[in-house]
Structure 1
Amino acid sequence: MKTETTDHGELETWTPQEVADGLAQGKVTLVDVRTPAEYAFESVEGALLLPMAHFDPRFLPSDGDKRVVLMCGSSVRSGKMARKTLEAGAERIAHLQDGFAGWKKAGLTHIATDMASGAPVRKTPSNG
């Protein structure tokens, strides 16, 4: 994890593997800020959706000791929303390094759309 001290608080950047491990251990709440269409096409299982177009830090979950990690496609939008969250008064927030593209590049499990049927399908490192 990389941290950056901003004028408004601590901004953390987590690697895809750190986020995957945090999800598996129940220590992370992942919030996807992409559009509903992007999320519906492919997403990280268990990620909540709070699209950037409607993003308001007041709507972020408060999970006590769980770290809230924001994600988007490349980390640009999630970085902007993380900074917005800090500006709104949060002491710290995290976002996913390289976004969903980094998640897939790391070979981590995700939900995708089967183009033949339109059904959701779990993509794992073993089934591509």
Structure 2
Amino acid sequence: MSFLFKRPGAGAQFQVVDAAGYRSQFVESQADHVLVDVRTPGEYRDGHVPGAVNIPLEKLGARLSEVPQDKPVVLVCASGNRSASAAEQLVTAGYSEVYNLKGGTMRWMMNGFPIEK
């Protein structure tokens, strides 16, 4: 399940998708997309959603060239807060199909979905 999110007073819009929705909408359907984990390298090494690339939030602006604009971008962190900030950055930078993984890696694991190390 996903829905459009607009923070009050902010112009940036992105969609929010929960763990089950991400799994069905992108993983199981094998939809072309990019999954970006915006946590620290240490957090990423401790375990991440399969297929995620690690671009820490504080480096995202300098590494935008690594994030394609021609496919959906799904952002994930530990709980969904940092990834929401990252989603706002991408929308502001002109990305059109941006998703925040609601509940982050913690919710992903609580649903019993696999983690890579």
The TM tier, using the shorter chain, reads 0.7 to 0.9
| Structure 1 residue runs without a partner (length 5+) | 112-119, 121-128
1:29–1:63: 8 Å Cα contact kept in structure 2?
no
TM value normalised by structure 2: 0.82
Match of 1:62 among 56, 59, 68: 68
Alpha-carbon distance in structure 1 between the residues aligned to 2:68 and 2:30: 14
Judged with a 3 Å threshold, the aligned counterparts in structure 2 of structure 1 residues 5 and 53 are, in CA distance, closer, same or farther, namely closer
Offset of residue 106 of structure 1: 1.1
TM-score by length of 1: 0.76
- What's 1:16 paired with? 19
Mapped contact 2:69–2:95 kept (Cα < 8 A): no
**Unpaired runs of 5+ in structure 2?**
none
CA distance in 1 between partners of 2:87 and 2:64 (Å): 12
Length, aligned pairs only: 111
| Residue number in structure 2 paired with 1:104 | 109
Give the corresponding residue for 1:3.
Answer: 4
Q: Which has the higher helix share?
A: 2
Matched, 1:48 2:53: yes
Give identity over the alignment, percent: 25
